Amino acid sequence: MRRILISVYLLIFFFTGVVWAGDIVSTWKYEGGTTMKLSVRDEQHIRMDTAPDSYMLKTGGKTYMVQKSDEGWKATDMAEMAKMMSRFAGKKASPNIDDYTTKYKYAGRKEKVAGYKGKVYNVEVRDGSGKLVSSDELVFSKSKDIRRINKAMMQISSQ
């Protein structure tokens, strides 16, 4: 009987470990001390923690903003919020991404960030008049984990 229980426990541990191994968690620390954490199980289960009392959650094909208030936790459908905001926003001109140009130049070196190897690129973004808007150094990796995180970030941010 003891052998059977040990076998069952090992199987449970093994299979739940496989599920846990599929999750990826990425943490960004910004200047000023703010932190953002992105957790990905698969394309339908993504969570972005932006503060201790709020996060975005993608599940079941929808994205929600979840916030804690004095009354408890509240979830808001981001698609519905976007519809409401568009009614009140009017016809203000918003920046068009096509008005900007982005140039990537290989810096000639490789770096390892958080255990992932990649190539370093200098990135410049200029507005329509040619004025430099931002200049940064990025490390691009071909790692499957990094691609999953980037795809998840795009999915949850596009809502």
pLDDT score of 107 more than 50: yes
Could you tell me if residue 81 is inside a domain?
A: yes
Q: Region 54-72: what's the mean pLDDT?
A: 91
Q: Region 139-145: what's the mean pLDDT?
A: 91
pLDDT of residue 84: 84
Could you tell me if residue 1 is inside a domain?
A: no
- Strands of the sheet containing 45-51, edge to edge, are 24-29, 35-42, 45-51, 54-59, 62-69, 72-77
Is the pTM higher than 0.85? The answer reads: no
Q: List pLDDT tens digits, range 115-131.
A: 999 999 999 999 989 99
Instruction: In whole angstroms, give the CA distance from residue 64 to residue 36.
Output: 16
Collapsing DSSP to helix, strand or coil, 22 comes out as: coil
Could you tell me if residue 5 is inside a domain?
A: no
Could you tell me if residue 6 is inside a domain?
A: no
Between residues 42 and 106, the one the model is more confident about: 106
Query: What is the extent of the structural domain holding 50?
Result: 20-157
Could you tell me if residue 4 is inside a domain?
A: no
Collapsing DSSP to helix, strand or coil, 90 comes out as: coil
Instruction: In whole angstroms, give the CA distance from residue 158 to residue 70.
Output: 29
